[in-house]
């Protein structure tokens, strides 16, 4: 049996499912979900993340983490947490850069928040020297100490619901079956009390908006945790920095977009991160947040150009490769503006990459 077959059976039994439920099953179904069974990262996989583009990304995040810990007063112990750590490349580069301050590593309790068995196996191999511990959620990471938390391309994997403005009002997009019992999109009345995102109330018929209760719930949980224990968290992802309509649901396989419905469980499935809603939820829970900025501006503020030049000076034979990596990470026509950055932090803390 495949995930598509399982989805057909579920829909026949329970009726059409929300896009949120569909995404959750496609990614995390224990038998057939993409992350549960076959995540493929890297040039030979389905998608490429910034830490796999260049070591410079993880190194700069490492120096950001050391700086954040220093601004927090060098607490010992503190929880160094990565949510959605992939194959461990970012944390490996982070730890290498953090060796400039040995007391940072000595004070850190390293926690990896991961639910994918195959990825945990890769992380265990890559990060064995650093003594990581694993948790299935942020709630499982022990409280009682400040956080320095990193999350790269996590929010886009948290499922969203989709709503369409019709001539009769708002409807929710769902996944159902057509006459041939194939998966198809359809509409049902929006839940009672549904309100579109602020500023999108008067869209014309045919407009689609997305809302992610999961992204907002994580923002609220993180905000409450930082308000109670102190700390700072950086989230980097592709997504929105203001409310806007549009269907961002996509499936990626072998670095190409494929049909969302015919690739269930066989491709990475994502939506754009809703940074305004995520940050608002964190603030409502008691934390502060920075402005939302582009990845390119953030990395340059951390010293990417200087680091790239230093690497090129040390390895002139790799200068062209390093230049292409820098372009990929920062250029507006690559990852520089599509990818955004926001930090959630305790009140009164200045955060590197955002402070003057």
The neighbouring-strand residues paired with 332 are none
Q: Which pLDDT belongs to residue 323?
A: 95
Q: Which pLDDT belongs to residue 98?
A: 96
Q: Which pLDDT belongs to residue 287?
A: 98
Q: Please state, in angstroms and rounded to a whole number, the distance separating the CA atoms of residues 307 and 37.
A: 37
Contact 147, 177 (CB under 8 A): no
Q: Which pLDDT belongs to residue 45?
A: 76
Looking at every residue in the chain, the average pLDDT score rounds to 95
Write out pLDDT tens, residues 269-291. 999 999 999 999 999 999 999 99
Q: Please state, in angstroms and rounded to a whole number, the distance separating the CA atoms of residues 328 and 344.
A: 26
Q: Which pLDDT belongs to residue 272?
A: 97
CA–CA distances in Å: residue 84 to residues 41, 65, 69, 114, 284: 12, 17, 21, 6, 24
Q: Which pLDDT belongs to residue 142?
A: 98
Q: Which pLDDT belongs to residue 108?
A: 98
**Residue 87: CA count within 13 A, CB half-sphere:** 14
Q: CA nearest 51: which of 9, 22, 93, 82? A: 93
| Ranges in the chain, pLDDT < 70 | 355-356
| Ordered domains of the chain (ranges, CATH) | 36-155+214-345 (3.40.50.12710)
Two tokens at 123?
A: 């992380």
Contact 330, 304 (CB under 8 A): yes
Q: CA nearest 262: which of 16, 29, 15, 22? A: 22
Q: Which pLDDT belongs to residue 356?
A: 59
């Amino acid at each position: 049996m495949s995930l598509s077959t399982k989805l057909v059976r579920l829909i026949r039994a329970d009726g059409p499912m929300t896009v949120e439920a569909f995404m959750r099953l496609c990614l995390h179904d224990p038998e057939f979900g993409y992350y549960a069974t076959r995540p493929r990262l890297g040039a030979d996989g389905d998608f490429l993340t910034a830490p796999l583009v260049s070591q410079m990304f993880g190194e700069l995040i490492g120096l950001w983490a050391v700086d954040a810990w220093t601004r927090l007063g060098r607490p010992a112990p503190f929880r160094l947490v990565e949510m959605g750590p992939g194959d461990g490349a970012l944390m490996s580069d982070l730890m290498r850069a953090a060796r400039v301050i040995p007391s940072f590593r000595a004070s850190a309790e390293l926690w990896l928040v991961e639910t994918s068995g195959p990825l945990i196996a890769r992380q265990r191999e890559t990060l064995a020297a650093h003594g990581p511990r694993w948790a299935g959620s942020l709630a499982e990471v022990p409280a009682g100490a400040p956080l320095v938390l990193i999350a790269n391309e996590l929010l886009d994997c948290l499922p969203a619901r989709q709503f369409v403005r019709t001539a009769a009002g708002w409807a929710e997009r769902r996944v159902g079956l057509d006459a041939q019992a194939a998966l198809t999109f359809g509409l049902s009345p929006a839940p009672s009390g549904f309100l579109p995102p602020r500023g999108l109330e008067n869209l014309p018929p045919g407009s689609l908006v997305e809302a992610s209760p999961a992204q907002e719930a994580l923002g609220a949980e993180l905000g409450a945790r930082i308000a109670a224990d102190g700390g700072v968290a950086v989230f980097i992802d592709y997504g929105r920095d203001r409310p806007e309509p549009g269907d961002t649901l996509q499936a990626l396989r072998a670095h190409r977009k494929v049909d969302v419905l015919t690739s269930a469980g066989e491709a990475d499935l994502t939506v754009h991160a809703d940074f305004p809603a995520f940050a608002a939820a964190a603030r409502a829970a008691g934390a502060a947040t920075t402005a939302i900025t582009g990845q390119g501006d953030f990395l340059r503020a951390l010293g990417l150009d200087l680091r790239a030049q230093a690497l090129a000076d040390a390895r002139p034979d790799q200068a062209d490769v390093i230049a292409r990596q820098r372009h990929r990470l920062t250029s507006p026509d690559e990852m520089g503006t599509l990818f955004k950055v926001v930090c959630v932090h305790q009140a009164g803390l200045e955060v590197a990459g955002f402070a003057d």
